[in-house]
Amino acid sequence: MSEKVPAVEVVDLVKTYDEGRTRAVDGATLSVAQGEFVAITGPSGCGKSTLLHLVAALERPDSGRIVVLGQDIGRGRDLSRYRAHTIGLVFQLHNLLPNLTAVENVEVPMYETGLGRRERRRRALELLELAGLADKARRRPPQLSGGERQRVAIARSLSNDPPILLADEPTGNLDSKAGRNVMDALNTIHHQQGLTVVMVTHDPGIAASADRVVKMLDGRIED
Q: Could you list the pLDDT tens digit for every one of the 223 residues in the chain?
A: 455 799 999 999 999 998 888 999 999 999 999 999 999 999 989 999 999 999 999 999 999 999 999 999 987 667 888 888 899 999 888 889 999 999 999 999 898 777 898 999 999 999 999 899 999 999 999 999 999 999 999 999 999 899 999 999 998 888 888 888 889 889 988 998 899 999 999 999 899 999 999 999 999 998 6
Tell me the domain boundaries of the chain. Answer: 8-95+161-221
- Homologous superfamily of domain range 8-95+161-221: P-loop containing nucleotide triphosphate hydrolases (3.40.50.300)
CB 175 within 8 Å of CB 143: no
Backbone angles phi, psi at 85, to 5 degrees: -125, -20
Angle (CA) 159 164 170, round 5°: 80
The angle that helices 146-157 and 176-193 make with each other, rounded to 10 degrees, is: 20
The angle that helices 176-193 and 117-130 make with each other, rounded to 10 degrees, is: 120
Torsion of Cα atoms, 201 then 52 then 115 then 1, to 10°: -110
Q: Please state, as a whole number, how many other Cβ atoms lie within 10 Å of the Cβ of residue 17.
A: 12
Query: Would you state the pLDDT for residue 47?
Result: 94
Query: Would you state the pLDDT for residue 78?
Result: 74
CB 162 within 8 Å of CB 81: no
Query: Would you state the pLDDT for residue 173?
Result: 82
DSSP annotation of 137: T
Report which of 137, 143, 132 is spatially closest to residue 186, judged by C-alpha positions. Answer: 132
Sign of the CA dihedral 48, 35, 162, 158? negative
Burial call 55-64: b when 16+ CB within 10 Å, e when fewer: bbbeeebeeb
Query: Would you state the pLDDT for residue 207?
Result: 93
Query: Would you state the pLDDT for residue 14?
Result: 96
CA distance 13 to 76: 18
**Long-range own/partner contacts, residues 136-140 (CB < 8 A, 24 or more apart):** 136/102, 137/101, 137/102, 137/103, 138/101, 138/102, 138/103, 139/101, 139/102, 140/98, 140/99, 140/100, 140/101, 140/102
CB 48 within 8 Å of CB 206: no
CA distance 101 to 107: 10
